[in-house]
């Protein structure tokens, strides 16, 4: 099985990238493939709430012609999706926020019996790194992501917070154990 991993950190060698490396390595060790997409290297504009996507029943149909469409295509063709972001001002990075907002085009019929999604049922997880503690710091994201996953009808396998991230080369060993847990839970 194949997982798409979405790195939303502007630091390609930072804590989030390093932990995502561990998740990808562990996915391969348990027999799965992964493909990383670096969102900071792409052009993903914000949603304009034009709702033109709702007029296209069989494809995402977003009228903004940028890299988000390619990302959505890879997500639809993957078996699982892992989002990874550092905590920025009690939220996700701007790069991930733009993609999450644009994900509106992946859902149809929200709040109706016909609600469906182009990524429905795919296992998903969020990797969230932060310099400080989880408590009093990460609650906005740990609340938002399950709601986002529910909106897209994803199979949420968890929000994994990695607190007290200092220098990437000095990450605690417990973080490696938690990365392994993500890889094992994603396809269990």
Q: Summarize pLDDT for 75-127 with one digit per residue, the tens.
A: 999 999 999 999 999 999 999 999 999 999 999 988 888 999 999 999 999 99
Helical segments of 54-172, H only: 68-77, 94-102, 139-151
The rounded distance, in Å, linking the Cα atoms of 93 and 86 is: 7
Residue 165 has pLDDT above 90, yes or no: no
From the candidate CATH numbers 3.90.1640.10, 3.40.50.620, 3.40.50.360, 1.10.357.10, the one assigned to the domain spanning 2-186:
3.40.50.360
Instruction: Please count the helices (runs of H) and the strands (runs of E) in the chain.
Output: 5, 7
Q: From 187, 112, 178, select the one nearest 155 (Cα to Cα).
A: 187
What is the pLDDT averaged over residues 133-155? Answer: 96
Per-residue pLDDT, 175: 73
Q: What is the pTM of this model?
A: 0.95
Element spanning 64, H or E: none
Per-residue pLDDT, 58: 87
Measured from the Cβ of residue 76, the count of other Cβ atoms closer than 10 Å reads 17
Residue 127: half-sphere exposure toward Cβ, Cα within 13 Å: 30
62 DSSP 8-state letter: -
Supply angle C-alpha 109, 118, 161, rounded to 5.
Answer: 100
Measured from the Cβ of residue 67, the count of other Cβ atoms closer than 10 Å reads 16
Q: Summarize pLDDT for 33-70 with one digit per residue, the tens.
A: 999 999 999 999 999 999 999 888 888 889 999 999 99
The rounded distance, in Å, linking the Cα atoms of 1 and 105 is: 25
Q: State the pLDDT confidence band at 188, using cuts at 50, 70 and 90.
A: confident
Measured from the Cβ of residue 102, the count of other Cβ atoms closer than 10 Å reads 23
Say which residues have a Cβ less than 8 Å from residue 182's Cβ, sequence separation at least 6: 23, 26, 82, 125, 127, 157, 158, 160
């Amino acid at each position: 099985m194949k997982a798409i991993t979405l790195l939303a950190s502007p630091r390609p060698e930072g804590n989030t990238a390093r932990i995502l490396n561990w998740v990808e390595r562990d996915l391969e060790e348990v027999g799965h493939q992964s493909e990383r997409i670096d969102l900071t290297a792409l052009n993903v504009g914000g949603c304009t709430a034009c709702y033109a996507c709702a007029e296209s029943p069989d494809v995402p149909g977003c009228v903004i012609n940028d890299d988000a469409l390619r990302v959505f295509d890879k997500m639809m063709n993957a078996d699982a999706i892992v989002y990874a972001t550092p905590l920025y001002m009690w939220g996700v990075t701007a790069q991930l926020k733009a993609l999450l907002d644009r994900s509106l085009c992946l859902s149809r019929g929200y709040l109706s019996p016909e609600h469906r999604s182009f990524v429905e049922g795919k296992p998903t997880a969020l990797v969230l790194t932060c310099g400080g503690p989880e408590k009093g710091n990460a609650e906005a994201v740990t609340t938002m992501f399950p709601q986002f996953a529910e909106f897209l009808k994803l199979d949420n396998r968890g929000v994994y917070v990695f607190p007290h991230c200092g220098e990437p080369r000095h990450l605690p060993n417990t973080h490696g154990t938690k990365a392994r847990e993500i890889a094992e839970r994603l396809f269990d």
